[in-house]
């Protein structure tokens, strides 16, 4: 069994970007105006269902603030806004506070940053390094020096624990999404784009949300409100990706409570709660027969609509299968991946042509076992 590369709760001993030698909290390096401080950390479960990653660590999580109680360092100054974003996706548990999720005893959530150390940038003509503002976009477009993000992805996202199903990354800025997709794809070669803000392999979905820093409040409020416009559109795409990952919403107002300083935020209407008290992926049903036993070789389980038509390999259109309910459709280029995502939906939806050749959405009524035949005969 492959050992997970996800770090355990606490300080992380890593000097990969520091020529193999670094003293935690003291060593820093500079490359062409970019500064990296060695202070990598991780919070929460080492075998989570959901991993939440910021970009790096801002001024509220570095310097003198490193002497704060460890559980309070993560996302300090923005924790309330992060809870709001995760709550709007229906990911927060109903039986414990948001602050509890940052403890070593937390079973389902893990937190950290894409670059586990702290990154800052010294703009031209300035003598004061910045850890906010345009730094995410600037680093995403950086072409010189050491690939610190690539090193972190290789070290901590290559071999992920078996329970992990969803990785939430803060910042849905286009260049950053593309840069993350590129780097994660290097260590997870089966990675494919789901939509503009999400990508997945055969097991884990990665979805980008609005950044929760104080400089991004306007974007974040539009994202949470699912307002008309760019951020609202990206939020709806994030909703679709989270549903395709198989999570059942279970948010409550109580779950949004934190001990950090309250911020002014728009009211969010929680999504309907399930009886479960923690986010849990819906079980995939495709590999097994109705009895729960493995299917015979050459047989697969597919959804069937009320008209008797089934989802099959011949439904690829313009290079991809279109699945999901109206307004939340995603394009998936792999039949196996599409079938897996359909199995994770509460009710599977896909596009197929009718007798007149017009493509429309149908809903699955049940699942049937069929022979894995060529598209023309399935």
pLDDT tens column, 319-378: 889 988 887 788 888 888 888 888 878 789 999 998 788 899 999 999 988 877 544 334
- On the question of pLDDT at 53 being above 50, the answer is yes
Q: What is the pLDDT of residue 177?
A: 94
Using the 3D structure, point to which of 256, 290, 308 is the last residue of a domain: 256
Strand 41-44 and strand 10-11: the pairing is antiparallel
- On the question of pLDDT at 248 being above 80, the answer is no
Q: Which of 13, 89, 126, 123 is nearest to 255 (CA)?
A: 89
From 140-149, 213-222, 298-307, 364-373, the region with the lowest mean pLDDT: 140-149
Q: Is 344 found in the same domain as 208? A: no
Q: What is the pLDDT of residue 242?
A: 92
Q: Is 179 found in the same domain as 110? A: yes
Q: Is 99 found in the same domain as 205? A: yes
Sort 59 into a burial class: Cβ within 10 Å, 0-12 / 13-18 / 19+: middle
Residue 53 pairs in a beta bridge with 112, 169
- On the question of pLDDT at 310 being above 50, the answer is yes
- Residue 265 placed within a domain: no
CA dist 317 and 331 (Å) reads 9
Q: Is 189 found in the same domain as 111? A: yes
Q: What is the pLDDT of residue 260?
A: 33
Bigger pLDDT: 60 vs 45: 45
Helices (H), 188-257: 217-224, 230-244
Burial 222-244 (b: 16+ CB within 10 A, else e): bbbebeeeebebbbbbbbbbbbb
- How many distinct structural domains can be found in the chain? 2
pLDDT band at 180; cut points 50, 70, 90 = very high
- Residue 272 placed within a domain: no
Question: H or E stretch including 343?
Answer: helix 335-344
**3-class secondary structure, 94:** coil
Q: Is 303 found in the same domain as 235? A: no
Alpha carbon distances (Å) from 361 to 245, 324, 333, 367: 20, 8, 17, 17
- On the question of pLDDT at 314 being above 80, the answer is yes
**Whole domain around residue 324: which residue ranges?**
299-371
- Residue 104 placed within a domain: yes
- On the question of pLDDT at 292 being above 90, the answer is no
Residues 6+ apart with CB under 8 A from 60: 76, 77, 78
Q: Is 364 found in the same domain as 217? A: no
- Residue 251 placed within a domain: yes
- Residue 159 placed within a domain: yes
- Residue 106 placed within a domain: yes
Using the 3D structure, point to which of 238, 256, 274 is the last residue of a domain: 256
Q: Is 310 found in the same domain as 235? A: no
Question: To the nearest whole number, what is the mean pLDDT of the chain?
Answer: 81
- On the question of pLDDT at 132 being above 80, the answer is no
Query: pLDDT tens digits, residue range 191-227?
Result: 999 999 999 998 999 999 999 887 778 888 999 999 8
Q: Is 353 found in the same domain as 220? A: no
- Residue 277 placed within a domain: no
User: Stretch 14-29: mean pLDDT, rounded?
Assistant: 92
User: Stretch 9-29: mean pLDDT, rounded?
Assistant: 93
Helices (H), 15-69: none
- On the question of pLDDT at 122 being above 90, the answer is no
Q: What is the pLDDT of residue 4?
A: 86
User: Stretch 301-320: mean pLDDT, rounded?
Assistant: 90
Q: What is the pLDDT of residue 329?
A: 82
Q: Is 319 found in the same domain as 175? A: no
Place of tokens 């008209």: 307
Q: What is the pLDDT of residue 344?
A: 75
Query: Which tokens in the block code for residue 120?
Result: 């800052």
Residue 42 pairs in a beta bridge with 10
Query: pLDDT tens digits, residue range 160-174?
Result: 999 999 999 999 999
CA dist 286 and 180 (Å) reads 30
Using the 3D structure, point to which of 225, 256, 287 is the last residue of a domain: 256
Q: Is 144 found in the same domain as 248? A: yes
CA dist 62 and 118 (Å) reads 7
- Residue 315 placed within a domain: yes
Across the chain, where does the E strand assignment appear?
10-11, 28-31, 34-37, 41-44, 50-54, 109-113, 118-121, 166-170, 192-195, 198-200, 205-209, 299-305, 321-323, 330-332, 349-353, 359-371
């Amino acid at each position: 069994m492959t050992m997970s590369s996800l770090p355990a709760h606490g300080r992380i001993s890593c000097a990969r970007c520091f020529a193999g030698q670094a003293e935690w909290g003291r060593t820093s390096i500079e490359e062409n105006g970019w500064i990296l401080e060695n202070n990598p950390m991780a919070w929460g479960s080492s075998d989570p269902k959901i991993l939440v990653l910021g970009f790096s660590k801002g001024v509220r999580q570095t310097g003198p603030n490193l002497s704060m109680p460890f559980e309070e360092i993560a996302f300090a100054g923005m924790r309330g806004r992060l809870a709001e974003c995760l709550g709007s996706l229906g990911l927060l548990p109903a039986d414990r506070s948001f602050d509890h999720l940052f403890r070593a005893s937390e079973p389902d959530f893990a937190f950290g940053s894409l670059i586990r150390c702290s990154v800052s940038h010294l703009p031209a003509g300035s003598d004061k390094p910045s850890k906010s503002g345009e730094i995410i976009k600037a680093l995403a477009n950086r072409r010189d020096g050491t690939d610190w993000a690539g090193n972190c992805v290789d070290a901590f996202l290559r071999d992920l624990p078996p329970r992990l199903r969803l990785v939430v990354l803060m910042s849905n800025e286009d260049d950053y999404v593309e840069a993350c997709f590129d780097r994660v794809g290097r260590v997870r070669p089966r990675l494919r784009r789901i939509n503009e803000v999400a990508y997945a392999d055969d097991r884990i979905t990665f979805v980008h949300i609005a950044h929760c820093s104080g400089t991004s409040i306007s974007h974040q409020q539009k994202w949470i409100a699912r307002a008309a416009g760019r951020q609202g559109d990206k939020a709806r795409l994030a909703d679709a990706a989270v549903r395709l990952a198989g999570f059942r919403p279970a948010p409550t107002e109580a779950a949004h409570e934190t001990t950090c300083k309250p911020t002014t935020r728009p009211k969010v209407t929680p999504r309907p709660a399930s009886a479960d008290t923690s986010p849990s992926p819906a079980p995939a049903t495709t590999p097994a027969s109705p009895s729960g036993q493995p299917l015979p070789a050459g047989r697969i389980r597919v959804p069937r609509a009320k008209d008797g038509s089934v989802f099959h390999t011949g439904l690829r259109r313009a290079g991809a299968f279109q699945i999901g309910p109206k307004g939340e459709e995603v394009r998936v280029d792999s039949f196996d991946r599409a079938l897996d995502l359909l199995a994770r939906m509460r009710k599977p939806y896909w596009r197929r042509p009718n007798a007149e050749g017009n493509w429309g959405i149908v809903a699955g009524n049940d699942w049937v076992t069929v022979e894995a035949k060529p598209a023309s005969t399935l």
